[in-house]
Amino acid sequence: MISKIIEKKLVSLQLVRGLSSSTARSARNNAFNTVITEEVATKSPQLVTLHNRLRLPGSFKLSTLGRCLTCIQKDNKYPNNVGLSIFGKNLLSYHATELLLMKYPRLPLNVLNNAINGIIGDETLYSIGKEWGIQTDSSTAVEKFLNEEPEEITIGRLRFDNQNKSIESNLTVIDKKNTLTQEVAMASAVKSIVGAYYASSKSLQDTKKFIYNYILTTRHLKIQDMFEFEQPTRELAALCKRQGLEQPVTRLLSESGRASKRPVFLVAVFSGNEKLGESFGASLREAKIRASVNALMNWYLYSSLDVKLPSDADYSRETLKEVDHGIVIV
């Protein structure tokens, strides 16, 4: 009896999309007949809380915030966040690239790319979104219907077709077709909030402030751990030649227990009288390689004292002092 009622209601709500013809389905997917209204959005406790928590401006409507949480979905009656997310990603990557490039002007390209991914990659944005308190909607359409979940509760959660669906306990279905992982979905929500921030505030400076306060400065990236060199001694010699410095010479500063099981050698690389790098090792070879690596890191991680970003109001081309010559080719 109960199952019959459910079936009837499901059909009436057009939730069983599989039964309709394919052309009708595609038409329904493209045309969003329902839009999240401001009236409904103001009733949503999650949206109001998130809005206040992120100190979003008044011009950022709650209905827009609801849209940011709507990912691309198969049976979706609301407009999704795809466009906003692409826009937000571009804003984020602009600010992250600018910050890293101006702070560390000599950063090699592959380290730069990985560092950007570390700051604004999907995994990072997922943890940021979780910290913001964005809840994910894990209930199915049937469960929502049976619980008589109101619309304002549904729109306050992150909605997406999950790649990993747990049907029962200890049973998960992985469906990679037209689905998103939780990380990607949450990241798209965070990106679209950034995009919507600019779209609603129409101020690049305010958006920049938001990005710095809530995303870029919230994580500590260990950029010194992202380097790996193949031939550090040769690379350093090539660098010194390019920069017009004297050929590097590795010199022994101190040592302990040369004949013992655990010797320690402290060496430094000198170019003339200038010390380029210093390190230690259990063998002279190890210490020499480590010292060269240290010297190369000293070169690549140079940072000027007064960093002015192109997006700053008082930026001019004249303030750009250091232009990098690029990586050293061995």
Partner 1 sequence: MFSQIIKSGIQSQKRSVSTESLPKLAVKNKFKSRGSAFNFKPQKVEPGVYHQPSPSIPSPLQKTPNAFLPASDIRKSSSSEYTAEDVSYMPPLSSVKEKKYHLTAQQIEEIRQLRNSDPYTYTRKALAKKFDCSEFFVSLVVDCPPDRLKDMAGRLDTIKSTWSVRKKEAKSDHEKRKQNWYRNA
Total length of the chain: 330
Does residue 308 interact with partner 1 by CB under 8 A?
no
In whole angstroms, what separates CA 4 from the centre of its chain? 47
Does residue 32 interact with partner 1 by CB under 8 A?
no
* Angle between the N-to-C axes of helices 182-201 and 204-211, in degrees from 0 to 180, rounded to the nearest 10: 150
**How many whole angstroms separate alpha carbon 17 and alpha carbon 23?**
11
Smallest distance from partner 1 to CB 174, Å? 33
Query: Which of 219, 303, 307, 315 touches partner 1 by CB under 8 A?
Result: 303
Query: Which of 302, 308, 311, 327 touches partner 1 by CB under 8 A?
Result: 302
Does residue 110 interact with partner 1 by CB under 8 A?
no
**How many whole angstroms separate alpha carbon 138 and alpha carbon 126?**
16
Query: Which of 151, 227, 327, 330 touches partner 1 by CB under 8 A?
Result: 227
Report the half-sphere exposure of 126 (CA within 13 A, side-chain side).
12
Terminal C-alpha separation, the chain: 77
Does residue 112 interact with partner 1 by CB under 8 A?
no
Query: Which of 64, 188, 207, 250 touches partner 1 by CB under 8 A?
Result: 250
Token pair, residue 34, equals 């329902």
Does residue 249 interact with partner 1 by CB under 8 A?
yes
Q: Determine phi and psi for 250, rounding to 5 degrees.
A: -90, 130
| C-beta of 230 vs 314, nearer to partner 1 | 230
Q: Which of residues 271-290 bind partner 1 (CB under 8 A)?
A: 271-281, 284, 286, 288-290
Does residue 221 interact with partner 1 by CB under 8 A?
no
Q: Which stretch binds partner 1 (CB under 8 A): 20-28, 178-186, 208-216, 301-309?
A: 301-309
Q: Which stretch binds partner 1 (CB under 8 A): 50-58, 69-77, 198-206, 226-234?
A: 226-234
Does residue 230 interact with partner 1 by CB under 8 A?
yes
Smallest distance from partner 1 to CB 275, Å? 6
Token pair, residue 1, equals 């009896």
Smallest distance from partner 1 to CB 191, Å? 29
In whole angstroms, what separates CA 72 from the centre of its chain? 19
**How many whole angstroms separate alpha carbon 120 and alpha carbon 163?**
22
| C-beta of 32 vs 299, nearer to partner 1 | 299
Does residue 251 interact with partner 1 by CB under 8 A?
yes
Q: Determine phi and psi for 81, rounding to 5 degrees.
A: -95, 15
| C-beta of 36 vs 293, nearer to partner 1 | 293
Q: Which stretch binds partner 1 (CB under 8 A): 44-52, 111-119, 188-196, 241-249?
A: 241-249
Does residue 267 interact with partner 1 by CB under 8 A?
yes
Does residue 264 interact with partner 1 by CB under 8 A?
no
Give long-range contacts, CB 8 A cutoff, 24+ apart: 306-314.
307/102, 307/103, 308/102, 309/98, 309/99, 309/102, 310/98, 310/102, 311/94, 311/95, 311/98, 311/204, 311/208, 313/205
Q: Which of residues 63-102 bind partner 1 (CB under 8 A)?
A: none
Beta-strand runs (E) in the chain: 164-168, 171-174, 249-256, 264-271, 274-281
Does residue 163 interact with partner 1 by CB under 8 A?
no
159: which strand partners? 70
Q: Determine phi and psi for 3, rounding to 5 degrees.
A: -60, -35
Q: Which of residues 310-329 bind partner 1 (CB under 8 A)?
A: 321-322
Give the footprint of partner 1 on this chain (CB under 8 A): 223-225, 227-230, 232, 243, 245, 247, 249-253, 267-268, 270-281, 284, 286, 288-290, 293-295, 297-305, 321-322
